[in-house]
Structure 1
Amino acid sequence: MSRTSKSTDQSAKPIKYNWKSFITLINKAKPSKPMLAVALSFSLISTVVGLFVPLFTKNLVDGFTLDSLESYQIILLVCVFVAQTIASGLSIYLLNKFGQQILSGLRDLLWRKLLYLPVAHYDKEETGGLISRVTNDTNVVKQVVSEHMSGFINGIISIVGSIIILFTLDWQMTLLLLVAIPLTLFIMMPLGRKMHQISRNMQNETASFTSVLTQVLSEVRLVKSSNAEPIEYERGRSGIDKLFKLGVREGKIQAFIAPLMGIVIMTLMVVIIGYGGLRVSNGSISAGELVAFILYLIQIVMPLGQITAFFTQLQKAIGATERMIDILGQDEEIHDLGSQVPTEDSAIRMKELTFYYDQGDPILKNVNFSVPSGKITALVGPSGSGKTTLFSLIERYYEPQHGSIAYGQQDINDYSLTSWRSQIGYVSQESPLMSGTIRENITYGLDRPVSDEELREVARMAYADGFIDDLPDRFDTEVGERGMKLSGGQRQRIAIARALLRNPRILMLDEATSALDSTSERVVQEALNNLMKGRTTLVIAHRLSTVVDADQIIFLDKGSITGIGTHEQLVASHSLYREFAEQQLRYQEQLS
């Protein structure tokens, strides 16, 4: 049975992503809604107060004399500006904090999701693209809320409020003014749609560029040893050029928007001042009302740019939302569902195991064998025969399309992932380490405190204590990214110490000594012997010395088992194994 959570049937019908999806995603981040309400209230106060400033100015212009200027009017005007400034400042701060809550919440959701997605998901997705989802796309969503939403709401209120007040002052000039609004929208909306399209492309290109950076910088030693700097430079340069061209196209549209808005504003200014001047001269309106009209004109036209920017950014955010919802909707591993692994040791049984990747050719075909408890079982065979895939199935990175793996009498899928994986110690050929100290790498993944005595004991058993004691900071020595400050043999011994500290019942060794020199191999092999004592062990090996003493050898060829037995039995009965053994003997003779 599968231990992944089932999301809604997204494969049955495509999801239509829109602003409702955007709101749903925002709610998942659990930001403080009262904070948003307070922030918007301060923003509205600032906008509403601003609507009365032109009326106040009108009265000052129409009735201004030194004798008529009262001190309370000056105080009132100062108080209005101070209140508007404080309300605006508080609104900006609270909206920014609200946006940061969304940013933090979304990144938390995505980070947890990425950690609990099955390994199969990472076979299909590029790491750089996933990083871009967590960093770039979440920031786009945050910007809509913290930087653009307030401008959109205030802009609507400013426009509506200004028009209502203008109608009370002079409806004829107001109608003249309103002609500019649909004209401006007619110009701005197509440009906004074009900007949205460019922004979406820029997000995709940014994700691709991030992916290239991640791949190249994480394998910089391979790049340099292969003299591939020019090739990788061109790959990166291609991404940079695409982002440059998109940025230039975005700049072209902005170059249209700003002058067009300027022309609209200047034209309206000229029309309002000219027409208003005529009406002032014939006494239809006062000079103060004309000044008020000009100020309200600014309060109408300027928010149009904010509203357009909001919709452009909202479209970008909806595009980012689509990708984030896609990730959050993926099935994930559930670690705590299922029973605990029994305390008694048991055999591992493969029953008619068949597996393939994404409907490709079968990697394993109807595989049947048992791994006896407390014994060593070696997996031998040509490259691509399915040995490492078998390890991945035992670790439950993937699930077989047919057949099962049982521990004792129970399918391993019936155990919780946490319980099952805690029984397994895995030492691979590369023995990857995390950036950090030796102590952190040996104790990696444990949720209990580890004493210095325990650390020293597992280091001694792993034959790692000698080189650790020679390091300046001993267990607190930094190993560098992926452990590159240590040699291959040292990394292997750290990995063995980590496995010893976990005290697993099942041990899986994936060619753990194949990449080492003869001196390091002997030391690591001694450490492995300590690790294998009394444990159910599965070994993948290409060296005869590793498998000759195994209790059982499984020979895999093209995904099928072609031989099972001891070394002596297979030498006598299995021609491919006999050829493998002879090649290894010749190789060892050449080395000696």
Structure 2
Amino acid sequence: MDAPPPHAPPTGTPRRADLKVQGGGATADRDRFRVSRVAIWGVVALGLAQGACLLSFILLLSKVVELLEPTGVGFAAEREYRQSLAACAVLAGLGVALGVLRAVEFSVTERAGYAVVRRLRMEMYAHLQRMLPAHLLHRARGGLLLRLTGDLSMLRMWLSRGQLQGCSAAITLAAGLVAAFILSWPMACSLLAVLSLGAVASLSSGQAMRSATRTMRRRRSLVIGNITEQINALAVTQVAGRTGGEFARLSRQNDSLNRALVRVANLRGRLRGLATGTSMVATAAVVATGVVEARRGEVLPATVLLEVLVARFLTRSVRTLGLMHDYWHRGTVSRQKILDFLASSSRGIESSLLAPLRVRRGEIRFNDVTVEGALDGLTVLAEPGTVVAITGGAGSGATAVLDVVARLVDPDGGAVIIDDQDLAETSPSSIGRAVGMVGPDLPLMRGTVTRNLTYSARSSTPAEVQRVAFGLGLHQTLGRVGAAGVDEWLVEGGQNVSPADRQLIAVGRALMGNPPILLLNRPFEGLDPASRILARAMVLRHRGTVLWCTEDPEDLAEADVIWVLEGGVLTEVKAGSAYRAEQWTTRNHEESRWPATT
């Protein structure tokens, strides 16, 4: 009938029973992003094991180097030789163990990050499911997709490779520094000094990285949103001859995004360069200190080489810790965006205290129902089992009547009572089992025709599916598309079948399972006369209460009651029999003006 006028998204007031679930402040926010304790302690244990292996490797290697110059002769020299070979075997074992530990560490850290992301993605999707159409009215699809994909990926990088792998790297670095101090404290001090300077240099780029990341995210969201819109409206662009203009628009957005990505890449490259440079400069500082110490006779050349080896061993740990800053900035921005999304308007978490909607007779009572910009104090009763036609011009509010019953819109005032149950006090998830609905904003889903027909009534039998399909003539119309019939595969929105077939499938979906309440918004739009007759007959055979938005005189003539709305106000309630009598009188009057000629 009419599209609901735009209005500000409702803020939504959480029920008292839901406050405990939704509340919690900063503690609840931390819990959302918290890695499991098992994973944390596992990573700590792996880090300690790697540190122990590294420390043992360095000290044992130092012992082997000492044994390269035998201190004894004869049997003593042979014993030192055998000890050297045994130590080499142990070194090989430590190397293998270190490699295995690092492989396990990577697997554990990645798995822990994926676990948090999975939990968050489902929480975000549950929040999305609780959002009403009005809540999504001012949200770009590009931003929503970025929340559920890119933001979670960035957060996972921070959790897995920043926090957990950084923790392990810090433990390994500490073990390496202990080994360095055991070998030579002056060279160890020079190594520590260079590493500290590298950390300070990395931290200095923090503000620039945060700003660049936010800019990049905004521009990426614009590009994703534009591409999503163009995919959904490609035919409009082609028919309007706007392909060139849209190409130029996307090109400008893409150039802007590319500049932002290059800026982020430059800053990330600087951080990676700092990490690599710090490692190399640390090696040079160790060598320089070793040269001075060797000249003074404080250390042997072999000790200098061992210190250099320690510095090289720590390269991976230094690089991991250097990249933590990058991961932290990207993860922090993503974390805040995720929290903002979870704090956005929705109906709130469904309370277990809410009773399910139980429809026995199908009486629907509107008590002073008001929807800002759509309905103004609607008070009317739909008797059980009646067919109520709702009609009116554009902006009459007829669509809003259906939306409040389906709980796609929550009224700003008044109440909808179904069989003595206040709809606002019932579980929203139970609405779908009691209501079947057809509307222009309810597209088909990807999958077979059967999946779409039984989407609400999952327990429907194949016989029921065939009954509805044959009743609507789907077996004939789909037969023209392919031989699959109700097993025909539909792409997103059912774009691979004709608009008439899509409408028939939508009507069948609403009728499947015989819901006690049927909400129809221009259900026969685009149907040919033969299909319209079949679909109308199926609707009229339905046993239940029907609210039917239409302006078609043939549809109005089938109604038991007609509600006439203008500007959101109910102006007239007319019996269907009275309307049919008026139609009959009008038709006879018109025929009498043109008498038959002989």
TM-score by length of 1: 0.84
Q: Which amino acid aligns with 2:418?
A: Y
CA distance in 1, matches of 2:405, 2:183: 80
The residue identity in structure 2 corresponding to 1:125 is R
Measure, in 2, the Cα distance between the counterparts of 1:102 and 1:190: 30
Distance 1:256 1:132, change over 3 A: closer
Residue 552 of structure 1 corresponds to which residue in structure 2? 561
Q: Which amino acid aligns with 1:365?
A: D
CA shift in 2, pair 1:487/1:255, >3 Å: closer
Q: 1:133 to 1:316 in 2, by over 3 A?
A: same
Alpha-carbon contact 2:61-2:91 (below 8 Å) kept: no
CA contact 1:113–1:328 (8 Å) conserved in 2: yes
CA contact (8 A) 2:132 2:409 kept: yes
Q: 1:18-58: CA deviations, max 9, x gaps?
A: xx77742234xxx6543443344223312332234333333
Distance across 2 between alignment mates of 1:387 and 1:64: 94
Which letter maps to 1:64? L
Seen in structure 2, the aligned counterparts of structure 1 residues 130 and 337 have a Cα distance that, compared at 3 Å, is: farther
CA contact (8 A) 1:6 1:331 kept: no
The answer to whether the 8 A contact 2:564-2:573 is kept is yes
Opposite residue 216 of structure 1, the aligned amino acid is: Q
- 1:67-91 per-position Cα deviation (integer Å, ceiling 9, x unaligned): 6543212112111111111211222
**Cα–Cα, structure 1 residues 265 and 322, in superposed 2: closer, same or farther, change >3 Å?**
closer
Partner of 1:149: helix, strand, or coil? helix
Give the Å deviation of 1:510.
0.6
Is 1:416 the counterpart of 2:432? The answer is: no
Deviation at 1:542, TM superposition (A): 2.2
Is 1:37 paired with 2:41? yes
Q: Deviations over 1:419-456 (max 9, x none)?
A: 444222212246621111111111112242x3322211
User: What's the % identity of the aligned pairs?
Assistant: 19
Match of 1:379 in 2: 390
Amino acid at match of 2:251: R
| 2:466 is aligned with 1:452 | no
> Residue 249 of structure 1: CA displacement?
0.8
What aligned pairs does 1:500-519 form with structure 2 within 5 A after superposition? 500-519=511-530
SS in 1 for 2:489: coil
Q: Match for residue 359 of structure 1?
A: none
Is the partner of 2:490 in helix, strand or coil?
Answer: coil
Moved more, 40-49 or 325-334: 325-334
Give 2:475's aligned amino acid: D
2:450, 2:486 within 8 Å by CA — same for their partners in 1? Answer: yes
Against the structure 1 CA distance between its residues 311 and 131, is the aligned structure 2 distance closer, same or farther, given a 3 Å change threshold? same
Higher mean C-alpha deviation, range 493-502 or range 301-310: 301-310
Aligned mates of 1:515, 1:168 — CA distance in 2: 85
> Please, which of 369, 375, 378 is the counterpart of residue 353 of structure 1?
369
Tell me the amino acid that sits aligned with residue 495 of structure 1. Answer: A
Aligned position for 2:97: 83
SS at match of 1:368: strand
Contact 1:335 1:417 (8 Å CA) reproduced: no
The residue type equivalent to 1:94 in the other structure is V
Question: What residue number does 2:546 align with?
Answer: 537
**Whole-angstrom distance in 1 between the partners of 2:356 and 2:152:** 38
Q: Give, as a single letter, the amino acid of the residue that structure 2 aligns with 1:460.
A: F
TM-superposed deviation, 1:472: 0.8
Residue 294 (structure 1) shift: 1.9
| 1:189 CA drift (Å) | 0.9
Match of 1:461 in 2: 471
Q: Distance in 2 between matches of 1:225 and 1:565?
A: 43
1:149-173 Cα distance to aligned partner (Å, 9 max, x none): 3442233223333334433443334
Cα separation, 2, equivalents of 1:304 and 1:95: 18
Deviations 1:161-205 (A, max 9, x none): 333443344333444444323422332112244223322333343
Q: Which secondary structure does the structure 2 equivalent of 1:351 belong to? A: strand
When residues 71 and 511 of structure 1 are mapped into structure 2, their CA distance, relative to the original with a 3 A threshold, is same
Q: 2:262 aligns with which of 233, 242, 248?
A: 248
- Describe how 1:20-419 pairs up with structure 2 within 5 A: 23-27=30-34, 33-65=37-69, 69=81, 70-261=84-275, 263-299=277-313, 303-329=317-343, 330-332=346-348, 334=350, 337-341=353-357, 344-356=360-372, 362-419=373-430
Are the structure 2 counterparts of residues 80 and 302 from structure 1 closer, same or farther at C-alpha, using a change threshold of 3 Å?
Answer: closer
Any idea what SS the aligned residue of 2:410 has? Answer: coil
CA contact (8 A) 2:152 2:334 kept: yes
Answer whether contact 1:376 1:539 (CA < 8 A) is retained: yes
3-state SS of 2:414 partner: strand
Compared CA separation, residues 2 and 571, structure 1 to 2 (3 A) = farther
Amino acid at match of 2:53: V
> Once the 2 structures are TM-superposed, how far is the Cα of residue 571 of structure 1 from its aligned partner?
11
Deviation at 1:255, TM superposition (A): 4.1
Deviations 1:510-562 (A, max 9, x none): 1112333445434433333334xx43221111222221342322221111122
Counterpart Cα distance in 2 of 1:419 and 1:199: 42
How far apart, in 2, do the equivalents of 1:364 and 1:118 lie?
A: 17
Q: Does 1:442 align with 2:453?
A: yes
Displacement of 1:322 in angstroms is 2.0
Other structure's SS at 2:149 match: helix
Aligned length: 563
The amino acid of 1:57's aligned partner reads: L
- Higher mean Cα deviation, 213-222 or 63-72? 63-72
Letter in 2 for 1:38: G
- Structure 1, unpaired ranges of 5+: 357-361, 586-592
AA aligned to 2:574 is G
Q: 1:95 to 1:256 in 2, by over 3 A?
A: closer
Q: Is the 8 A contact 1:35 1:98 kept in 2?
A: yes
- Whether the 8 Å contact between 1:442 and 1:501 is mirrored in structure 2 is yes
TM-score scaled to structure 2, two decimals? Answer: 0.84
Name the counterpart of 1:588.
none
Distance in 2 between the 1:520 and 1:64 partners?
95
Q: Is the 8 A contact 2:46 2:168 kept in 1?
A: no
- What CA distance in whole angstroms lies between the structure 1 residues aligned with 2:200 and 2:440? 64
Work out whether residues 22 and 317 of structure 1, in 8 Å CA contact, stay in contact via their aligned partners in 2. no
Distance 1:346 1:55, change over 3 A: closer
Measured on the aligned residues, the alpha-carbon RMSD in Å equals 3.5
- Whole-angstrom CA distance in 1 between matches of 2:22 and 2:508: 44
AA aligned opposite 1:377: V
What CA deviation, in whole Å up to 9, does each residue of 1:398-432 have, x standing for no partner? 22111111224432223333444422221224662
Q: 2:492 aligns with which of 457, 467, 481?
A: 481
CA distance in 1, matches of 2:20, 2:225: 29
The change in CA–CA distance for 1:196 and 1:478 in structure 2 (over 3 A counts) is: same
Structure 1 pair 523–225 and aligned structure 2 pair: CA distance change class (3 A)? farther
Instruction: State the alpha-carbon separation in 2 of the partners of residues 268 and 253 from structure 1.
Output: 22
